[in-house]
Amino acid sequence: MAYLVKTTDRAERDFANLYDEIQVGESGAALKWYTGLKKAVLSLDEMPHRCPVTREDRHLRHLLYGRKPRVYRVIYRILEKQNRVEVLHIRHGARQDMTEADLE
């Protein structure tokens, strides 16, 4: 069963900030990495349960993307009744645990 993958406004801001931060417009390698991240997020439409539950909240899951030291966490929740995956936040994996404010 395929799920619809939607991103929240917060996740869209995270994508935009990351795009600027890694200077995608100026580097082919950065563009390839960023495109790969986007594809990984969209791949949540199939088998979103494959990723582990977050340590902060058992109702959220996270997809890890990249290699050390540039591992990013894509935080999302699965809305079974709507058959939807909602991407909430994208953050560097080395950052401290999330708070409620991080999801606003």
Q: Which two tokens stand for residue 83?
A: 């058959």
For residue 88, the number of C-alpha atoms closer than 13 Å in the C-beta half-sphere is 19
* Digit-coded pLDDT (tens) for 39-84: 999 999 999 999 999 988 999 999 999 888 788 999 999 999 999 9
Tell me the average pLDDT across 7-32. Answer: 90
Other CB atoms closer than 10 Å to residue 37's CB: what's the count?
A: 20
pTM of the model: 0.86
Q: Is the predicted pLDDT of residue 20 greater than 90, yes or no? A: no
65 closest CA partner among 30, 20, 34: 34
4-95 folds as: YaeB-like fold (3.30.2310)
pLDDT value for 89: 93
Apex 97 CA angle, 5 and 45, nearest 5? 15
Per-domain residue ranges of the chain: 4-95
